[in-house]
Amino acid sequence: MTDSELAETETATLPLDQWHREQGARMVPFAGYRMPIQYEGIVAEHDWTRNHASLFDVSHMGQLAVSGEKAAQELEKLLPADIATLPVGQMRYSLLLTEAGGIIDDLIVTNTGSTYALVVNGACKWDDIAHLREHLDDDITLTHYDDFALLALQGPEAAAVLEELVPGVAKLTFMRAGLFKFGGEHLWVSRAGYTGEDGFEIAVHEKHVRELADALAADERVKPAGLGARDSLRLEAGLPLYGHDLTTETDPVSAGLSFALAKSRRESGGYMGHPASMVRLEQGGTASRRVGLALEGRLPAREGAQVFAGNALVGTVTSGGFSPTLDHPVAMAMVETEYAQTGTELHIEVRGKRLPACVVPLPFVPHKYVRKGS
């Protein structure tokens, strides 16, 4: 065994750093921060999230806001989404694309009324800021809320828990957001997350985050959960992870994210990466596709493992691990389009062994979002 993965490096600390240590977290470097990877154990935290409510600290993520008279128009130069018609209080999943249609980052954009808020990946945030600043008009104000923490409360009991502390939040539905108050301080609460469960993401000033974390953790339905469970939960939910399932070498069509290429903008275009995206979407298709693979047995296939159809190498695992909910290993892989059909029997090579793996629909575990009208 090596200790390299446990090595400490010089990294920034989260506003809740001390709180995590008090809760028994093991801290690891991730995206430039010391972050909790687990508290009592990944499987226990994973199962708790699926059955109750878990508190995740995702303050490493970039919380940005774009404002100015032409903010919507300017954002539409970079995002393939319909920003101009996005109602106040609504959220969209979107992408930053290269000219060639590769994915620079995936993000959530929210119309807050006065700004367009963007939540971007922690590991990408500095590059995203540079990209936005380079391409947005000089009249546009780009604000980085680096003094705000971001907590995620996820699980079937999240709504009941948060409603007791922050009355009104249960009225939000999936991908809706609003301004609320807790202890006299403002919170920006979004009904969204990265686990496949119902839940919320809560932006709170770093001065007040401890009070909120304590109040949430005091509820017996809530336990803290770390990055380990966050990763196994999002994998089961079929949600791609930037830097692994998505890169600048991946495009929205191959990645199964064509829904992010807004229908209303497919003809009109006007965003970076539009022509290249339309070639893939409407004309040529793509050489490969992101698929879900279910494995038998217990040996997980990890990122980088090669995928075979017979003797032919047809793809690579981009994320993989053991699914605590399903009790067998699962993986996401980019495979040649010809082999991407549900039911296709493939093999994944792990340490010289060829493990049978079947293409299955994503998500592996059904989403439990509380949608409007449901």
Q: Could you say whether residue 232 binds other proteins (CB under 8 A)?
A: yes
Secondary structure element (H or E) that encloses residue 277, with its range? helix 274-278
| Euclidean distance between CA atoms 14 and 37, whole angstroms | 13
Q: Could you say whether residue 7 binds other proteins (CB under 8 A)?
A: no
Q: Which stretch in 15-23, 37-45, 210-218, 360-368 sits in contact with other proteins by CB under 8 A?
A: 37-45
Q: Could you say whether residue 9 binds other proteins (CB under 8 A)?
A: no
Q: Are 75 and 137 in contact (CB under 8 A)?
A: no
The binder of other proteins chosen from 12, 18, 21, 41 (CB under 8 A) = 41
Q: Are 172 and 85 in contact (CB under 8 A)?
A: no
Q: Are 60 and 14 in contact (CB under 8 A)?
A: yes
Pairing assessment for the beta strands 312-323 and 288-295 based on DSSP bridges: unpaired
Nearer to other proteins, 26 or 210 (CB): 26
Q: Could you say whether residue 278 binds other proteins (CB under 8 A)?
A: no
Minimum CB distance to other proteins, residue 104 (Å)? 27
Residues 307-346 that bind other proteins (CB under 8 A): 321-322, 324, 329
Q: Could you say whether residue 299 binds other proteins (CB under 8 A)?
A: yes
Q: Could you say whether residue 10 binds other proteins (CB under 8 A)?
A: no
Per-position DSSP letters for 144-213, written without gaps between them: E-TTEEEEEEESTTHHHHHHHHSTTGGG--TTBEEEEEETTEEEEEES--SSSSSEEEEEEETTTHHHHH
Candidates 57, 179, 196, 172; CA nearest to 117 is: 179
Minimum CB distance to other proteins, residue 13 (Å)? 18
The binder of other proteins chosen from 134, 351, 373, 374 (CB under 8 A) = 351
Minimum CB distance to other proteins, residue 318 (Å)? 16
Minimum CB distance to other proteins, residue 303 (Å)? 10
- Coil/strand/helix, residue 123: helix
The binder of other proteins chosen from 302, 354, 371, 372 (CB under 8 A) = 302
x/- track of binding to other proteins for residues 137-176 (CB under 8 A): ----------------------------------------
Q: Which residues pair with 65 in a beta bridge?
A: 117, 143
Q: Which stretch in 41-49, 128-136, 240-248, 355-363 sits in contact with other proteins by CB under 8 A?
A: 41-49
Per-position DSSP letters for 311-366, written without gaps between them: TEEEEEEEEEEEETTTTEEEEEEEEEGGG-STT-EEEEEETTEEEEEEEEPSPSS-
Q: Are 196 and 189 in contact (CB under 8 A)?
A: no
| Euclidean distance between CA atoms 200 and 189, whole angstroms | 7
Q: Which stretch in 14-22, 40-48, 165-173, 356-364 sits in contact with other proteins by CB under 8 A?
A: 40-48
Positions touching other proteins (CB under 8 A) are 1-3, 5-6, 26, 37-38, 41-43, 46, 228, 232, 298-300, 302, 321-322, 324, 329, 351
